Structure 1
């Protein structure tokens, strides 16, 4: 897990200094070793967080034995041992790291190597003779890769602040992207970023760079082409599901440094513990860390039950409204775009505690909801499709839905109709956006079409696939990557193993909602392997007091001051008077969803951090205690 940077397509001798500046700007990503190398036509840099093969021989940039090819790589290749065994017949390895396996795979198989990788990655492989490069990003965007094309040069890095550190590009808002965020709650859904002139490879993209030519980008992984529906029985599906879950957990535990688990009170992280246990990788050396909001929203009993089932303790950290207020600006600086909400901010003490405990790799349960129908809005859509088709299955689906969500049949039918009508909704089925509060001229000028989602021919599977590769997982992985790397931690997401995802989307949809429960095939697969009170518990909405906290001090005064500020009015994105009226109404408890208030905060704090000030010279780190080595330099 690292930070990469580079400038290609230039003979400017100052390029090495610029790349060194880029590496320093994202030093939190790689505090163990830093190096910049000058190459013909540019420079490449790397900041290393040592996880596999801790020796200096595994440092990057990594050069092949011929001296022609140079690799900078951020991420992990979990099946590197299997690939290495295959490649060893034609490549002489000198390290034990997965980075060298990636280098050998790319030199041996070219772009086809991407299909063989099981991992999270962003990389650049540079050919010093042809002065060309291959860049790539993993299937679901777990690792970032940002770039700008400036005067024939390609400037790229893991984080946007590294690009800004060069001085070659300034922070300006991409108003089309912000409009999609405000109008449709869509963000991180295509190759654009919140910064004008700075783009990103999309999940599943790779690109070719040649001097003097525009970057050539193609999609190497389209999830829609990997869905192959099969007619499973529930028993057969559960058996295969269990096998895949256990193997994904096993390979994601490959590490030469301590590993911990981010544990919530829900099914997913509890399932992760169960899978680690079944794989034989769980021991008392694996530490669990959790966050809890206390009071009526406390999930402590479920956290303790999940950990206790495996003979583990979990460290449960409190989180307050004052913590929330204090984390917003640092989170914005690290995330470089909208923060997902209070739950994302509350992960900061989890990551801080993990770092303090000596953990370097953190396992996280993200992915099951998106691949196996875990959200209420997807259950709404499943019910709507079943009711539209009619028959006994429709009656079963309606009864199961009502029992799971404890609602009337009339309420269920209304939710189903709304889902069929494609109403913009949050994962709990509520409407998150308030376009009537936006400036009319802004909407008229910057309203933009949405990025298309995968098309499999099945409306429910299309919805899940879109969440995985367009709408939800890409923004989720941006936030989780930046927050974990803020504390120099590697975050791993075993349930985004592409084998699991493709299997889930190929299941008959009814197996996702057996007995009216969401993610039912996961529950069936892990019977006997986890506490049934957790395994069979109904899906709970995110247990975070974001709405109530925004209504009360200190957040209420903070929001009032923010939307009443001259800068908020000058952005030209909102109608400040209508926003003030809407906030007064919100503070009475009249609104079911607080996302529109959170949007105001995200927009204004982003502008204040990156546009109004100098985000390179004035940083807002969540933790300033990381090791800070000086960058070394060399040339090839």
Structure 2
């Protein structure tokens, strides 16, 4: 896990200055080593956090023996040892690190090598002969990569946004992102756009060759989350369960490989408990360390589930607990906002940061977690109506009615399910009206700048569309973003076994009953990996998530909150109606604000902190160009149900 920066342009001095400054700003991403490569028209900079082969043999930038290719690479390829035999006829390896494997693979096979790599990465490869640069990012976007086209025609890129903002610059706000965030707490439909108007994110699952003379980025897709045609789906039987179990254990085992200490996060939910169980199962000699954060004494306290996991694995597991109710938003929020480089939806991101800080203080460098399980296995509660509506639309009325009864759905959910099953466009229209109502407290200028992205929403009864939407836009991009920032802020490599793409190949072929059965979500995980879970965890059907008591935390420091969201800076930014927000703060002070209004106050708070921390120019520009939507290559088009 590392940090990369790069420059493609004509001014060598500016390029080196950019790379050196970027390296300093990314120091937290790699404390062990640094390096800069410079050639005519290109400069590449690197910070190293050593994970595998801690020797100088893993130094980057790394150049091929013939001098043609130079690589900077942030990430981990878990199957790199399996790739070496096919490469060794034309390459004499001199290290154990995966960086050299990636360099050899790209030098011999080009972008086609990406399809055989299992892991996470953001990389840049300079070809000195053809004078062009290859950029690529892993399938799910676990490793970040940002770029900016500058006024002098140069292209600059980095693992984080900070190096792309010049010293003393007031970067411009990308208004549609802010409008979407303030109104509904999400902005994933904006594709490659960020909160900064002039800075883009390179898309996951893509690569691009960039010519030195043009510096234009035209990404090409090499992977997309698979979906099986309905007629080809298979039921969940013992053979299928074994297939999933084997793939899951392989994913966890491959991500436990490191030459530094490893640990895991543990919430007490199904996903993290399964990851910890698989780690404990594979490590018969030695103990696995697990870190947990709990809001003790509240309705969201999962300590009993964590304790049950500890009892199941006994001496194989050592659990360290952190109490989140002791958090102070006024002390912690700004530093995490700066690290995240964007506002975020709730203070669970801060609690996660506290965990990563404690992990690092304990001497841990690699941290595994259960993130991605809900997206892969349709585990979020909002997936259940989509599964039911899809089956109802497909004619499986008895099964759909049984699940609606088991889930105890309210009238609103039943209306949405029925509408989408019979008339999908009507249900999307209902969602559109509901969503547009959420913009009422934004300033007129920001409402004008917002894009109506509702036509791009998947219909509830199109399960594969909803699934893909969460993988590519609504849920997973935010999750991998905050995990990377919090982990790397404390020089930790975060790993997510559920995002091994080989698991997706297995999961995508199952019938809906694999995910929902008698109101129980993640039936597949319970069935295939039940022995990894204590009974109390395997049988639970609630979904708490990484909860932090938002109302209590903000009410405890309401004076500070109100000063920020209603103060001079907030009024000057003209992003939202500060008088209306002030009234919600007063309601919050007396514990009379509902969850929706509490969420709006929080988003106003972190947006204000973000604009101040990055000196953002909040002059709203009504961008008339829609966000970039990159279509799948025709050879890899998905088959929608």
State the TM-score, normalizing by the size of structure 2. Answer: 0.88
Q: How many residues align?
A: 600
Structure 2 counterpart SS, 1:485: helix
2:396 is the counterpart of 1:396: no
Q: 2:388 aligns with which of 383, 388, 394?
A: 383
Residues 591-606 of structure 1: pairs in structure 2 closer than 5 A: 591-593=594-596, 594-606=598-610
Q: 2: CA distance between counterparts of 1:22 and 1:550?
A: 35
User: Retained in 1: the 8 A contact 2:226–2:505?
Assistant: no
Taking a change above 3 Å as real, the CA distance of residues 290 and 43 of structure 1, as seen in their structure-2 partners, is same
Q: 2: CA distance between counterparts of 1:87 and 1:451?
A: 47
Q: 1: CA distance between counterparts of 2:28 and 2:458?
A: 35
Aligned to 2:623: none
Q: 2: CA distance between counterparts of 1:294 and 1:438?
A: 36
Q: 1: CA distance between counterparts of 2:419 and 2:267?
A: 30
Q: CA deviation at 1:226?
A: 5.5
Q: CA deviation at 1:449?
A: 3.5
Aligned to 1:324: 329
Q: 1: CA distance between counterparts of 2:515 and 2:250?
A: 21
Aligned to 1:358: 363
Structure 2 counterpart SS, 1:295: coil
Aligned to 1:247: 250
Q: 1: CA distance between counterparts of 2:292 and 2:488?
A: 18
2:97 is the counterpart of 1:91: no
Q: 2:526 aligns with which of 501, 523, 526?
A: 523
Q: 1: CA distance between counterparts of 2:179 and 2:266?
A: 35
Structure 1 counterpart SS, 2:609: helix
Q: 2: CA distance between counterparts of 1:268 and 1:315?
A: 18
Q: CA deviation at 1:458?
A: 7.1
Aligned to 2:626: none
Q: 2: CA distance between counterparts of 1:240 and 1:173?
A: 47
Aligned to 2:514: 511
Q: 2: CA distance between counterparts of 1:415 and 1:271?
A: 33
User: Retained in 2: the 8 A contact 1:258–1:286?
Assistant: no
Q: 2: CA distance between counterparts of 1:239 and 1:477?
A: 28
Q: 2: CA distance between counterparts of 1:226 and 1:282?
A: 36
2:341 is the counterpart of 1:336: yes
Aligned to 2:473: 470
* Deviation larger for 221-230 or 517-526: 221-230
Residues 110-189 of structure 1: pairs in structure 2 closer than 5 A: 110-150=110-150, 151-165=152-166, 170-189=170-189
Coordinate RMSD, CA, aligned: 2.6
Structure 2 counterpart SS, 1:144: coil
Aligned to 2:441: 437
Q: 2:290 aligns with which of 288, 300, 313?
A: 288
Taking a change above 3 Å as real, the CA distance of residues 576 and 369 of structure 1, as seen in their structure-2 partners, is same
Q: 1:310 aligns with which of 289, 310, 313?
A: 313
2:376 is the counterpart of 1:371: yes
User: Retained in 2: the 8 A contact 1:432–1:596?
Assistant: no
Q: 1: CA distance between counterparts of 2:526 and 2:435?
A: 29
Q: 2: CA distance between counterparts of 1:442 and 1:502?
A: 41
User: Retained in 2: the 8 A contact 1:74–1:143?
Assistant: yes
Q: CA deviation at 1:153?
A: 1.1
Structure 1 counterpart SS, 2:521: coil
Taking a change above 3 Å as real, the CA distance of residues 123 and 373 of structure 1, as seen in their structure-2 partners, is same
Q: 1:480 aligns with which of 469, 483, 491?
A: 483
* Deviation larger for 565-574 or 385-394: 385-394
Q: 2: CA distance between counterparts of 1:300 and 1:441?
A: 46
User: Retained in 1: the 8 A contact 2:133–2:212?
Assistant: no
Write out per-residue CA displacement over residues 98-127 of structure 1, whole angstroms, 9 at most, x where no aligned residue.
001111111111111111111100000001
2:244 is the counterpart of 1:238: no
* Deviation larger for 24-33 or 346-355: 346-355
Aligned to 2:631: none
2:68 is the counterpart of 1:73: no
Q: 1: CA distance between counterparts of 2:245 and 2:605?
A: 42
* Deviation larger for 517-526 or 237-246: 237-246
Write out per-residue CA displacement over residues 459-506 of structure 1, whole angstroms, 9 at most, x where no aligned residue.
112212211122211111111001000000000001011111232232
Taking a change above 3 Å as real, the CA distance of residues 545 and 340 of structure 1, as seen in their structure-2 partners, is same
Write out per-residue CA displacement over residues 424-456 of structure 1, whole angstroms, 9 at most, x where no aligned residue.
99xxxx98983111112321133353795799x
Q: 1:449 aligns with which of 439, 450, 453?
A: 453
Structure 1 counterpart SS, 2:615: helix
Taking a change above 3 Å as real, the CA distance of residues 282 and 461 of structure 1, as seen in their structure-2 partners, is farther
Aligned to 1:46: 46
Q: 1: CA distance between counterparts of 2:12 and 2:531?
A: 63
Write out per-residue CA displacement over residues 378-398 of structure 1, whole angstroms, 9 at most, x where no aligned residue.
112223334454532123222
Structure 2 counterpart SS, 1:437: coil
Q: 1: CA distance between counterparts of 2:227 and 2:133?
A: 27
Structure 2 counterpart SS, 1:552: helix
Q: 1: CA distance between counterparts of 2:78 and 2:456?
A: 30
Taking a change above 3 Å as real, the CA distance of residues 391 and 553 of structure 1, as seen in their structure-2 partners, is closer
Q: CA deviation at 1:14?
A: 4.2
Taking a change above 3 Å as real, the CA distance of residues 576 and 323 of structure 1, as seen in their structure-2 partners, is closer
Q: CA deviation at 1:566?
A: 1.5
2:7 is the counterpart of 1:4: no
Aligned to 1:501: 504
Q: 2: CA distance between counterparts of 1:259 and 1:568?
A: 43
Q: CA deviation at 1:417?
A: 5.1
Taking a change above 3 Å as real, the CA distance of residues 88 and 170 of structure 1, as seen in their structure-2 partners, is farther
Taking a change above 3 Å as real, the CA distance of residues 611 and 282 of structure 1, as seen in their structure-2 partners, is farther
Taking a change above 3 Å as real, the CA distance of residues 34 and 170 of structure 1, as seen in their structure-2 partners, is farther
Q: 1: CA distance between counterparts of 2:405 and 2:354?
A: 41
User: Retained in 1: the 8 A contact 2:68–2:128?
Assistant: yes
Aligned to 2:26: 26
Structure 2 counterpart SS, 1:13: helix
Aligned to 2:279: 276
Residues 401-440 of structure 1: pairs in structure 2 closer than 5 A: 401-402=407-408, 410=411, 413-414=414-415, 416=417, 421-422=427-428, 434-440=438-444
User: Retained in 1: the 8 A contact 2:123–2:137?
Assistant: yes
Structure 2 counterpart SS, 1:265: coil
Q: 2: CA distance between counterparts of 1:432 and 1:317?
A: 39
Residues 539-578 of structure 1: pairs in structure 2 closer than 5 A: 539-542=542-545, 544-554=547-557, 556-578=558-580
* Deviation larger for 485-494 or 372-381: 372-381
Structure 1 counterpart SS, 2:563: helix
Extract unaligned runs of 5+ from structure 1.
614-636
Q: 2: CA distance between counterparts of 1:298 and 1:89?
A: 56
